[in-house]
Chain A
Amino acid sequence: MRHDYIDRYARLDSPVHRLPAPLKLALALALVISTVVVPFSAFLYFVACALFLFSVILLARLPISFVAIRLLTLEPLAAGVAILAVMQPDGLFVLIRILVKTNLCLLTMVLLANTTPFAGILDVLRSLRVPPLLITVLALMYRYVFLLIDQSERMTRARKSRTFVPRRGSRWKSAAGIVGQLFVRSTERAERIYAAMTARGWR
């Protein structure tokens, strides 16, 4: 399986996709910040925000099921925090508040990520004078992350097919083996990339 599907929606064609990346990034940031800042009593804001984001999904022609799944797969931390939040006075209210805010923010970022190619975001960061080294690292990372995920999945599968009695100890060892091997391969690829960059005049 190849993991390049992860950002497949970023290259769809729709009115939203065609908007310039700087505009979308600024809008998303503004929306997230205001969602964080606006007090929960201003209920209308959140309704309006949700309606706006929902219409963006439709305009961008993103499958609703895909967006819904992205919203449901919150981190374990988020789930844990939600439960902890209930354990205080007015806990339920706090829970509803953070669930609404978090989901709106997450929806905003999911929409940004799936309507804007990462290269466009990098261009924005570049024009914002983010240090070049950080940009280079981000660009290389984006380029090679899919490759490495594929590689690690192949290794995991190969290990699984050779393991018959998976005990915890051996599974930790095999996970560490995969991580170690991944690093060695990344290093070797980095050396070859350096050669390729030099060959095309990088100095």
Chain B
Amino acid sequence: MHIPDGFLDLKTAVATGVLSTAAVGISLRRLNGSLPRRKVPLMGLAGAFVFAAQMVNFPVAGGTSGHLMGGVLAAVLLGPAAGVVVITSVLIVQCLLFADGGIVALGANVFNMGVIGSAGGYAIYRGVRLLFRNERGRYLAVVLAAWGSTVLAAACCAGELAWSGIVPWRSAFPAMTNVHMLIAIGEAVISALAFSAIAAARPDIVAEEPRSAPVHEGKDLLLYGALITIGVVLFISPFASRWPDGLEAVAAKLGFESAAVTRPLVASPLEGYTIPGLGSPVAATVIAGLAGTCIVFTGGFFLARVLTRRGRNEA
């Protein structure tokens, strides 16, 4: 999900940059007050760990493979603030050392994978933990947190790309979220299995849940939550309101349909085609989405697979 430079326009880059800087600032401030000195080396090693873990492949479907993002794993093992800082460091090193993910797009990548992927995931984790307090609840929480945060991060990523005007929201949103609903299963299962492997090898590491002091925890999660909400409102909702589905149906019923969408923001290429029996705009959107999903899956992954394999052998 690393967005390269050239994909985002300046307004998106600045908006994500501001949100990410705020989140990383909050996290660093919290760590400066609460991180024991002996844990400082662990932060660096955890960064190297996430980096290396992202290179471990697992098969997804049809011969393609995915890899872990690791945000939730980091947050659950080290705490949300540490998770954000670790993932941010990973993204900075990937950007500056490997040119993987852009530097102007760094804010967006930190927002999607660090803030949503780690702190957002942690918020889901804590929410589920409140409902299921036993040991199994912990694994369930890891699974749901990893899955949910990955899909939300993908949706935000689609929103940022659409806001920059390089992809049509109508196909980008379903394509990104559908693909990542599948990839996120891998993220969820691998995170939970890795967590259980760690618990088996070193029960002491996972014995105590890494939480900020109870006084801070609510406040921290509220701050991260606020930043994520701003991001979602900024990147997703302007399109969602124009998205011809539930919202528009409501608008039609209330009788101000014509005012809602006078001109589609970006037209889908499949929209002009009338497929017998499936002529409605909703169906066109669904088909565009499905087509986008398939194309991204087959085209993108196949291309990447061939290219990375070649790159690796020759590098």
Contact = CB atoms under 8 A, between A and B. Distances in A.
A80 B4 CA distance: 12
Interface in A72-95: 72-81, 83-89, 91, 94
Nearest to A142: B93
Given A69-B315, A194-B38, A183 B49 contact: yes
Contacts of A194: 37-38, 40-42
Contacts of B311: 69-70, 72-73
A58 interface: no
A140 B6 contact: no
B93 A178 contact: no
A190 B5 contact: no
B304 A88 contact: no
Interface residues of A, number: 92
Nearest to A111: B99
B48 A186 contact: yes
A20 interface: no
Contacts of A189: 45
A43 interface: no
Contacts of A66: 315
B164 to A, nearest CB: 9
A51 interface: no
B299 A83 contact: yes
B178 to A, nearest CB: 11
A152 B41 contact: no
B161 A81 contact: yes
A84 B92 CA distance: 27
Nearest to A91: B269
A37 interface: yes
Contacts of A145: 47-48, 51-52, 93
Given A98-B7, A113-B96, A179-B53, 8 more contacts: A6-B315, A32-B104, A73-B308, A81-B172, A87-B292, A109-B99, A137-B89, A172-B186
Interface of B: 1-10, 13, 24, 28, 31-32, 35, 37-38, 40-49, 51-53, 55-59, 68, 70, 73, 77, 85-86, 88-90, 92-93, 95-104, 157, 161, 165-168, 171-172, 175, 179, 186, 189-190, 192-198, 200-202, 205, 266-270, 288, 291-292, 295-296, 299-301, 303-304, 307-308, 310-311, 314-315
Interface of A: 5-7, 28-29, 32-33, 35-37, 65-66, 69-70, 72-81, 83-89, 91, 94, 97-98, 100-106, 108-110, 112-113, 118, 121, 131, 133-134, 136-145, 147-149, 151-152, 156, 168, 171-173, 175-184, 186-187, 189-191, 193-194, 197, 202-203
29 contacts: A32-B104, A33-B10, A36-B9, A66-B315, A69-B315, A74-B4, A75-B1, A75-B304, A76-B304, A80-B296, A97-B166, A98-B166, A102-B7, A109-B99, A113-B97, A133-B35, A134-B85, A134-B88, A136-B44, A140-B43, A141-B44, A144-B48, A172-B58, A177-B197, A179-B53, A181-B197, A182-B56, A183-B49, A183-B198
